[in-house]
Amino acid sequence: MLPFDPDEVRIEPSKHFRNLKMRKWDWDITDLRDSLRSPVRVVPRGRLKLEVWVRKGGSKKLVLSFYREEKLVLVITGTEG
C-alpha cells in the first residue's frame, strides 16, 4: 500500500510533529516506523504527500511526504480520531 518500505527509508518527524504529537502520544522513531509497517488506509494527496491512517494506541492520521531519490519520509503532522 505504501510506495516505500518503512525499514528501508530514513524517517524524520518535523519539529512541530515531534514536539507536539510524538510527545503527547509517547512515541519515538521506532513507534513511528512500527505504525507505518501496517497502515489501515493510504491516500495520495499530490505528487509527494500521503495521508496515512494507522492504529497504534488508537486511530491516528499522519500526513507525510516521501522523497524517492533521497529515500526520506518526512512526517509533517498527525491527528487523533
Whether the CB-CB separation of 60 and 33 falls below 8 Å is answered with: no
pTM of the full structure? 0.90
- C-alpha 9/C-alpha 29 separation (Å) is 12
The C-alpha atoms of residue 57 and residue 14 are separated, in whole angstroms, by: 21
Cell numbers for 42, please give them: 493510504
Dihedral, 44, 12, 32, 60 alpha carbons, nearest 10? -50
CA distance 70 to 50: 17
Q: What is the mean pLDDT of residues 44-56?
A: 95
pLDDT tens column, 57-68: 899 999 999 999
The CATH number given to 10-80 is: 3.30.2310
pLDDT per position as a tens digit, 8-49: 999 999 999 999 999 999 999 999 999 999 999 999 999 999
| pLDDT at residue 81 in the model | 75
Indicate the domain borders of the chain. 10-80
At residue 54, the pLDDT reads 96
